[in-house]
Amino acid sequence: MTTDIQQPPAEFADRVHHLEESLHGEGVSLRSVTKHYGSVVAVENITLDIPAGSYCCLLGPSGCGKTTTLRMIAGHEAITSGDLYIGDQRVNPLPPAKRNTAMVFQSYALFPHKTVWDNVDFGLKMRKVALRDRIERVDEVLEVLGLSHLAKRKPSMLSGGQQQRVALARALVTRPNVLLLDEPLSALDENLRVKTRGELRKLQRQFKMTFIQVTHAQDEAFSLSDQIVVMDRGRIDQVGTPQSIFNAPVSQFVARFTGDNNIFSGTVTRTEPNTHGQIIELEVPGLGTLRCRGEYAQPGTSAACCIRSDRMQLQLEATPPANPSYNSLTARISLVEFTGYVTRVSLIIEATGEEILYKTQTTDWLTHPFQEGQQMTLCWSINDCIFLSH
């Protein structure tokens, strides 16, 4: 069932306002949550607070436990141990239908034989909502998401982006407190992904709902999130804003996974107080002493430091300049890759034979006559060099 009546602008505004009023987000809290599949530990002892009305991305490689965590929040997987709260309510024993959450699956899971209107109506129908209320709520959410003109079409007649919006409409029409998204953009091409993630963020802000999304794409997490949770091997490695995750990774895993960071491993030899915390010295085999900033380090322990590839300076000098505020090394250009706005330059460190990456804007790169095979000096400020404890 659908309607072909064209709504005037005033009524459309009323519908948007009504939908905004009917939706609100709840916070989600996990306390020492663990999930076992037999002898396999999928999620191990994670504790996490997701604020109400925020956009949170669970970020990590395949098999890190992010989808299992999402499914436990939804109630599709039972928790082995620990507690899960939505708002103030402990929901461990509650089935999915009693948690007031909704999930948008990676495949969208639309019924191919049903129209858009009937797909969106399905959840309300299963909840035995009265027909008159169903008509009002389905028409309302279709109007707000710009799908009214597609109401009579089947999913096979829609584009990937339109199908994704239908899946969102089906979730929103149930008025959940928490919307769960399992890699909802992975099936879209790059241009549509960028456009659709903007629509997702706009919807989340408009309705002030709690969105929790699983993704393995760093750019997606950075552009969407208020909070990023980086997971590795069933554990949480770092939680923070996109800016803090990008600028201050806490581990070698996070540094490798979330950006083009160059990582140097060594042994802590000395620390000294600094306005940013501490200046930490690492003895790196083949390179000598590198200096970085951090909060705390114990001399004699193994650790590492990292520098973003776009925070380095490339100079055509055979001997690194002596400057206590900078680290430096000599390397030889092995490959130059034009990728559009950015040019990526791979270099081989003379002392160790290891590869290092330098990135710069293509317009800047074209002003230099550097060529593959040239020996260069790479310099970077110790304030841009981040200490990694593990």
Q: What is the mean pLDDT of the chain?
A: 89
pLDDT, one tens digit per residue, over 127-154 is 899 999 999 999 988 988 889 999 999 9
Query: Between 116-126 and 160-172, two packed helices, what is the crossing angle to 10 degrees?
Result: 20
More confident residue, 46 or 196: 46
Residue 202 has pLDDT above 90, yes or no: no
**Domain architecture of the chain: domains with CATH:** 9-247 (3.40.50.300), 260-388 (2.40.50.100)
Q: Quickly list DSSP for 84-144.
A: EEETTEE-TT--GGGTTEEEE-TT----TTS-HHHHHHHHHHHTT--HHHHHHHHHHHHHH
For CA atoms 236, 212, 159, 107, give the dihedral sign. positive
**How high is the pLDDT of residue 11?**
59
307 pairs with which residues across the strands? 262
Q: What is the mean pLDDT of residues 303-326?
A: 85
pLDDT, one tens digit per residue, over 279-308 is 999 999 999 999 999 988 999 999 999 999
Q: What is the mean pLDDT of residues 344-349?
A: 96
Distance CA 61, CA 293 (A): 28
Residue 80 has pLDDT above 90, yes or no: yes
pLDDT band at 3 (very low <50, low <70, confident <90, very high): very low
The SS3 of residue 320 is coil
Q: What is the pTM of this model?
A: 0.86
pLDDT, one tens digit per residue, over 226-272 is 999 999 999 999 999 999 999 999 999 999 998 889 999 999 999 99
**How high is the pLDDT of residue 161?**
81
* Paired tokens of 236: 């949480």
pLDDT band at 193 (very low <50, low <70, confident <90, very high): confident
**How high is the pLDDT of residue 2?**
44
Highest mean pLDDT among 169-173, 312-316, 358-362: 358-362
